[in-house]
């Protein structure tokens, strides 16, 4: 087994919350937990974090002479023993390994299991390919589990690695339809095992196929068990007895077909039998592949089409007939897929950036390859903001959330372009306002609210896309829509109706409220859009419009520095709008509440964060920008939260470190400030860390990013899931920019201590 790259190791209590997703872009996933457990089965186009079927376990049986041992391939259970009936976990009564270590460099993961009563050390590695630029190869619905057994004794031993599984076709952990399930033997490219299916068809996201294939020379398949339906957990006794006695489980009817399950499903097993020489190792691999054609679009995504037609087709399902076809496609090139992924990961590990920045950049990519993102059969790429426990959270590939992330355009620009095209071609209303949430079906865009930061961010991202691919034809094809996004700011009652380069009016934004009056967050986004618009206008032979954008950017920049900079940072001047508001700019909030006011906002320079990614230069006075960044760090960063009072969601507490969304170092906090002012949220923190690095605040930038990663250290949060409004939150992928920012960061900010 080739050694895998490792960036971080977890031990002891830090294993508790670990669950790293294994799956491709838009395919769903399952997870390898910190103890080695197979958990978070989210294959059927819906989130269901924490769900594990009754049987989804790997067991290990060893025999040396008359000594036979049976272990669950997991480290010891650490929770649940205080229940009224003791431990209720499946196979809780079977021994596990006493010690475990989790090693990771996403998407590689490995659990190393030791036990002084067991003659082998077991290593369980999980993998799914992630290769920049190769969208299809990074969107494959499978997980590879590689099990290595190291014989620690001076005698040869026989071993069985057994996968024990409940056929879950028809069950996603929320809805259940397990009648007519079928298990059959299968073989692909010499790999042997089983395929699960259903004997009837339906346009149902829970209907599909799954394949489980071992590459061992001796594989015993039990499609269903003779000891099924014994009372008093006799089924568990049958599994134990068969493995201890024979080293495998017998098929109930080895010579006949498996009948469809009459009501409940069939439970099954696949046993790979190997020999492990003294003081040597043997490796077996288990391929888990799946194919679920349909998804319920209305599962967290409001559906505006015909009732009953919200079940749509997954893109990956158009590439394959079933799970065995997936296996047939990937097995011949498995080594190449691994090599490409390893080359990518090792290139990240070889960067000179501190490990905390590498970890943030790599580990947040789970947001792209977990249940947050999906593709429909026409190839369109969509996403939630994140995921609730059993549904998507905040639909519509939300522009002002996805504006922050940097991973997609860097690693898969094809998907980033696709997302932008949907915004620009489908979500722009006749007057130029862009719906910051896209509706499904795509032909029915009935969400009628534009976000100032979301709309201006899409302008900058369009320029970013051009720089990534240098496709001038594409840029010119979308330029009319991009131009309309900017021009909408100038309509009567709009964000810059007086064309002074400063946003006023009602500015809906990522904090889910409207800011009224000039404020740095929305206006700096606007300045970035004007600068990017001028660049694109030159490329699209539109010099007059480019000159207008440049002039507005200069006026706006000067005004903000003169009127919003308080000597240390930029503040909001709250003011009621004058006259009627432009259509689609308000959801009904009033300026009397939910404003920033004199606060020091983590996002006051977020437009500069994005402008720096595309080389637009300083949008405001560079000296002021540096002073503001230092002020944000000094005022908002917390070494602990023992004296912090937060009325909203809690993502940092106690002795943890983090950076607040907003602080009020000079007092003056509004009686009812904007909702999230007292929280810590990782995507916002990462954009600050990146911008700090951009301006030479290297120590501060690392400290901000490292605080996030230290909060996700395994003992109380999953290192591979940074929630905000839901799990696997897209904004966290702003962390990808940390790597380039570190490489190009000045060695000093240029500020003296007294500045």
Confidence of residue 2 (pLDDT cuts 50, 70, 90): low
Q: Of the ranges 300-309, 378-387, 721-730, which one carries the lowest mean pLDDT score?
A: 300-309
pLDDT > 90 in the chain, percent: 93
pLDDT in tens, 63-111: 999 999 999 999 999 988 898 888 889 999 999 999 999 999 999 999 9
Mean pLDDT of the chain: 96
The rounded distance, in Å, linking the Cα atoms of 533 and 88 is: 60
Average pLDDT over residues 744-750: 93
- Given a cut of 70, whether residue 207 has pLDDT beyond it is yes
- Asked if residues 724 and 387 have their Cβ atoms less than 8 Å apart, the reply is no
- Asked if residues 108 and 5 have their Cβ atoms less than 8 Å apart, the reply is yes
Confidence of residue 231 (pLDDT cuts 50, 70, 90): confident
Confidence of residue 308 (pLDDT cuts 50, 70, 90): confident
pLDDT at 270: 98
pLDDT at 229: 72
Average pLDDT over residues 250-259: 92
Instruction: Show the domains of the chain with their CATH numbers.
Output: 8-295 (2.70.98), 352-744 (1.50.10.10)
The rounded distance, in Å, linking the Cα atoms of 213 and 195 is: 8
pLDDT in tens, 442-455: 988 889 999 999 99
pLDDT in tens, 433-482: 999 999 999 988 889 999 999 999 999 999 999 999 999 999 999 999 99
- Asked if residues 7 and 358 have their Cβ atoms less than 8 Å apart, the reply is yes
- CA dihedral of residues 709, 714, 719, 722 (deg, nearest 10): -80
pLDDT in tens, 534-591: 999 999 999 999 999 999 999 999 999 999 999 999 999 999 998 999 999 999 999 9
Query: Would you list the DSSP string of 29-91?
Result: EEEEETTS-EEEEE-SSS--TT---S-EEEEEEEEETTEEEEEESSBPP-S-TTSTTS--STT
Q: Nearest Cα to 149, choosing from 83, 85, 80, 58?
A: 58
> Parallel, antiparallel, or unpaired for β 56-64 and 38-42?
unpaired
pLDDT at 88: 86
Average pLDDT over residues 135-157: 98
The rounded distance, in Å, linking the Cα atoms of 127 and 146 is: 8
pLDDT at 230: 73
Q: Coil, strand or helix: which one is 188?
A: strand
- Asked if residues 528 and 582 have their Cβ atoms less than 8 Å apart, the reply is no
- Given a cut of 70, whether residue 1 has pLDDT beyond it is no
DSSP state of 27: S
Average pLDDT over residues 629-637: 98
């Amino acid at each position: 087994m080739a050694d895998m790259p490792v960036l971080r190791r977890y031990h002891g209590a830090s294993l508790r919350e670990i669950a790293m997703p294994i799956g491709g872009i838009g395919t769903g996933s399952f997870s390898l937990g910190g103890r080695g457990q197979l958990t978070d089965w989210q294959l059927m186009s819906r989130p269901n974090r924490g769900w594990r079927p009754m049987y989804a376990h790997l067991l290990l049986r060893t025999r040396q002479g008359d000594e036979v041992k049976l272990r669950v391939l997991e480290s010891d259970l650490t929770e649940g023993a205080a229940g009224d009936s003791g431990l209720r976990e499946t196979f809780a009564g079977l021994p596990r390994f006493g010690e475990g270590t989790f090693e990771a460099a996403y998407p590689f993961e490995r659990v190393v299991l030791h036990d002084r009563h067991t003659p082998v050390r077991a290593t369980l590695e999980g993998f799914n390919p992630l290769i920049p630029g190769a969208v299809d190869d990074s969107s494959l619905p499978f997980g590879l589990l590689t099990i290595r057994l190291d014989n620690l004794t001076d005698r040869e031993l026989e071993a069985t690695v057994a996968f024990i599984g409940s056929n879950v076709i028809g069950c996603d952990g929320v809805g259940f339809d397990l009648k007519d399930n079928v298990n059959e033997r299968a073989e692909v490219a010499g790999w042997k095992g089983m395929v699960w299916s259903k004997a009837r068809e339906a346009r149902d996201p829970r209907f599909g196929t799954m394949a489980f294939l071992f590459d061992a020379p001796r594989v015993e398949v039990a499609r269903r068990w003779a000891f099924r339906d014994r009372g008093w957990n006799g089924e568990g006794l049958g599994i134990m007895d068969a493995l201890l006695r024979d080293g495998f489980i017998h098929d109930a009817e080895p010579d006949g077909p498996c009948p469809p399950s009459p009501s409940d499903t069939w439970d099954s097993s696949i046993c790979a039998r190997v020999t492990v020489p003294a003081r040597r190792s043997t490796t077996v691999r288990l391929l888990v592949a799946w194919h679920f054609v349909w998804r319920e679009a209305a599962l967290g995504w409001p559906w505006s089409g015909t009732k009953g037609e919200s079940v749509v087709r997954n893109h990956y399902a158009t590439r394959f007939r079933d799970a065995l076809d997936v296996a047939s496609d990937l097995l011949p090139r498995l080594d190449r897929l691994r090599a490409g992924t390893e080359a990518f990961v090792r290139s990240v590990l070889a960067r000179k950036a501190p490990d905390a920045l590498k970890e943030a950049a790599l580990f947040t990519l789970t947001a792209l390859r977990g249940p947050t993102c999906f593709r429909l059969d026409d190839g369109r790429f969509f996403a939630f903001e994140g995921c609730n426990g059993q549904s998507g959270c905040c639909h519509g590939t939300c522009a002002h959330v996805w504006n922050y992330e940097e991973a997609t355009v860097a690693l898969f620009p094809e998907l980033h372009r696709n997302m932008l095209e949907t915004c620009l071609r489908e979500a722009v209303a006749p007057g130029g306002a862009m719906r910051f949430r896209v509706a499904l079906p795509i032909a029915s865009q009935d969400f009628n609210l534009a976000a100032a930061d979301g709309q201006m961010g899409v302008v900058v991202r369009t320029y970013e896309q051009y720089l990534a691919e240098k496709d001038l034809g594409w840029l010119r094809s979308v330029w009319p829509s991009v131009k309309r996004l900017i021009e909408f700011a100038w309509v009567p009652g709009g964000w810059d109706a007086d064309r002074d380069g400063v946003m006023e009016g009602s500015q809906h934004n990522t904090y889910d409220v409207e800011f009224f009056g000039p404020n740095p967050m929305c206006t700096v986004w606007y300045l970035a859009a004007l600068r990017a618009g001028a660049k694109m206008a030159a490329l699209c032979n539109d010099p007059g419009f480019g000159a207008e954008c440049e002039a507005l950017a200069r006026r706006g920049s000067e005004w903000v520095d003169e009127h919003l900079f308080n000597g240390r940072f930029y503040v909001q001047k709250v003011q009621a709008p004058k006259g009627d508001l432009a259509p689609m700019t308000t959801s009904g909030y009033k300026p009397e509440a939910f404003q920033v006011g004199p606060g020091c906002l983590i996002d006051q320079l977020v437009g500069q964060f994005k402008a720096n990614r595309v080389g637009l230069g300083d949008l405001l006075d560079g000296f002021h920008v540096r002073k503001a960044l230092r002020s944000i760090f000094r005022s908002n960063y917390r070494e602990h939260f023992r004296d912090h009072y937060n009325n909203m969601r809690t993502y940092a507490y106690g002795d943890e470190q983090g950076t607040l969304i907003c602080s009020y170092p000079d007092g003056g906090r509004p009686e009812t400030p904007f909702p999230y002012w007292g929280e810590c949220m990782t995507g916002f923190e990462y954009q600050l860390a990146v911008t700090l690095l951009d301006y030479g605040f290297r120590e501060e930038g690392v400290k901000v990013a490292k605080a996030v990663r230290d909060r996700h250290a395994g003992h109380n949060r999953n290192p591979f899931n940074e929630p905000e409004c839901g799990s696997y939150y897209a904004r966290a992928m702003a962390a990808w920019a940390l790597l380039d920012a570190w490489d190009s960061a000045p060695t000093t900010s240029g500020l003296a201590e007294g500045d």
